[in-house]
Structure 1
């Protein structure tokens, strides 16, 4: 049975048009992959509020940088033994520089699976040896920009 817990993600774009991705290790499937910051929507939160909160928690970047501009993204993936099938809003955050990222408010689960972050150009994204989630990230970015 698939889990459909609501979540929101943020595509952060810097002045050089690079995208911020976080690197994760799913120790159940032993897969390492890259994904935009984001996470679960808490009860009573709007998707935008969740995106802003998650951005701050996972990256230390200011939540108010997340614009009320988003696209729905169909997701079908596995994480720590759970199969997720759902639609997530992907929001846009633009920065006029390359901000420092400090993942200091990660949950215990995230601390055990987080492997770092990087700002990637489109070319670098396409050439990454590890999977990017979702696989159609560049198309999503094109819709938001």
Structure 2
């Protein structure tokens, strides 16, 4: 099943990236990923970004930055395999306390926590980060800023 989604790279004023954690259905290992979710019928990418930020973090006012990456990957959850087509947007925000009270029932069941990650923490963890090269990609983004051309990720 095809699923188009928006992912937000929420980076605070300390250059920390907000990630959620879930556990892999196949092996139980934790994996961390940027906030976001599927596009609802009739929504634009920007509308999805605003809705997902509000629902997942309580953040309602922010400036949507540029789309920096696109990723296509296969993922399975809830017994369904998805052909994921993800749009990643870079968003600078002031540090804030995350409010997950807007989670859907599925998110309440599957998201096990969140953390504002530094690049050093990303380098030191044994947990899986999604996308796979997230630490290197974020390092480039924080040093050089958004790329001139969209980057297409394979994993």
TM-score band, normalised by shorter chain: 0.7 to 0.9
- Among residues 119, 124, 145, which one is paired with 2:121 in the alignment? 124
Does the alignment pair 1:113 with 2:110?
Answer: yes
SS across alignment from 2:68:
strand
Aligned residues: 142
- For residues 1-145 of structure 1, the aligned pairs below 5 Å read 3-27=1-25, 29-95=27-93, 97-141=94-138, 142-143=140-141, 145=146
TM-score, with structure 2 as normaliser: 0.80
Q: Residues 71 and 140 of structure 1 are in contact (CA less than 8 Å); yes or no, is this contact kept in structure 2?
A: no
SS across alignment from 2:129:
coil
SS across alignment from 2:22:
strand
- Deviation larger for 47-56 or 32-41: 47-56
Where do 5+ consecutive residues of structure 2 fail to align? 147-155
SS across alignment from 1:6:
strand
Deviation of residue 138 (structure 1)?
3.0
Quote the RMSD (CA, aligned, Å): 2.0
Where do 5+ consecutive residues of structure 1 fail to align? none
Deviation of residue 29 (structure 1)?
4.6
SS across alignment from 2:65:
strand
Change (3 A) 1:84 1:67: same
| Counterpart residue number, 2:152 | none
SS across alignment from 1:51:
helix
TM-score, with structure 1 as normaliser: 0.85
Deviation of residue 54 (structure 1)?
0.6
- Deviation larger for 26-35 or 125-134: 26-35
- 2: distance between equivalents of 1:84 and 1:41? 14
